Structure 1
Amino acid sequence: MNDGKSTISKQLVEIFENVMQVEHEFVNTNVGKKLSMSEIHTISAVGSDMLCSMGEIAEKLHITVGTLTVAINNLVHKGYVERYKSEKDRRIVKLGLTKQGKVIFSAHEAFHKNLVDAMIEDLSEEEQVVVSKAMLNLKGFVDRGYQSIQTAKH
């Protein structure tokens, strides 16, 4: 691996190792709560605007509905998520955030905004396009890996 690729590889490893910890501290410090990253990401997947089904959220998080049910039960108990039954079909349950859940969601969104702002700080528009292309390439690599894992499971 040439020096440029080696440097990028080392930087990616450091970022992946540290970003979740920094994200966790940022959200918990800003909301004065102690939530796990799993809880924060579940709250984020529920979102702040529209009601979502369990299946939709499980798909976003790449987990089973059964695993999500355990997480949602915990978040309902803690007061971050509410369940809403459909008026038309009582079997259909949608999820939404409580006021407390929306505070967590907003703090998490703020972290991501700050992360992107820091990443593109002092970059020209052309350089931002290159970064965006590199991120798409990385996302494609990760998505292909995820798809091959899913295919191997079935």
Structure 2
Amino acid sequence: MKPFEEQLNEVIVDTYRSILRVEENILKRSDQTDLSISEIHMLEAVGKGKDRRRTISELAEVLNITLPSVTVAINKLMKKGYVEKVRGEEDGRIVYVSLTRQGRRIDSAHRYFHESMVRSIIRDMTESEMQALYKGVMKLDTFLKEQLK
């Protein structure tokens, strides 16, 4: 690799690891020690759904994991009191997963961390720097999603 490519690779890997460590540290400092990072990300995915709810199939698709894996994770989160299953009003065959009050509180705290991170990154950036960063991160995201296919 060329020197710039090596530097960029190192920054990407270090950033990924740092985000995970920061999330883990926040989790350890909170009173929610019964949740893993992947469970928090599951809560986030539920909370981002239309009307703050999603079906198991929608969660599997958005998180790119299998239906059985989502079912197991959701059942664990139900036992812990973070999500609930609700039948659809128009079609009772459809079961939605939604956040409980406790789940919404965790999702809100996690979302606040991400919002703070983004604000801190772009605080002193020019519009062109923000656009360049966005374009670069989108290219990284596209590459990673292609690798998952």
Report the TM-score when normalising by structure 1.
Answer: 0.86
CA distance in 2, matches of 1:98, 1:16: 29
In the TM superposition, residue 18 of structure 1 has moved relative to its aligned partner by 2.3
Correspondence 1:71-150 to 2 at 5 A = 71-147=73-149
The residue identity in structure 1 corresponding to 2:82 is: Y
1:24 maps to which residue? 24
- Structure 2: give runs of 5+ residues left out of the alignment: none
CA distance in 2, matches of 1:70, 1:135: 32
Question: SS at the partner of 1:96?
Answer: strand
- The count of aligned residue pairs is 146
Q: 1:130 to 1:88 in 2, by over 3 A?
A: closer
CA distance in 2, matches of 1:23, 1:77: 23
Q: Percent identity?
A: 37
2:47 maps to which residue? 47
CA distance in 2, matches of 1:101, 1:76: 10
Between 60-69 and 83-92, the greater mean CA deviation after superposition: 83-92
Structure 1, residues 70-98: CA drift from partner, whole Å, max 9, x if none? 11111111110011012444332111000
Higher relative contact order (CA 8 A, sep 6+): 1
CA distance in 2, matches of 1:89, 1:98: 22
CA distance in 2, matches of 1:5, 1:50: 40
- For the 8 Å contact 2:52–2:99, the answer to whether it is kept is no
| 1:36 correspondence with 2:36 | yes
Question: SS at the partner of 1:91?
Answer: coil
Structure 1, residues 48-72: CA drift from partner, whole Å, max 9, x if none? 6432111001111111111111111
- For the 8 Å contact 1:80–1:100, the answer to whether it is kept is yes
Structure 1, residues 72-129: CA drift from partner, whole Å, max 9, x if none? 1111111100110124443321110000000111011111112212222321111111
- Structure 1: give runs of 5+ residues left out of the alignment: 148-154
Give the CA RMSD over aligned residues. 1.6
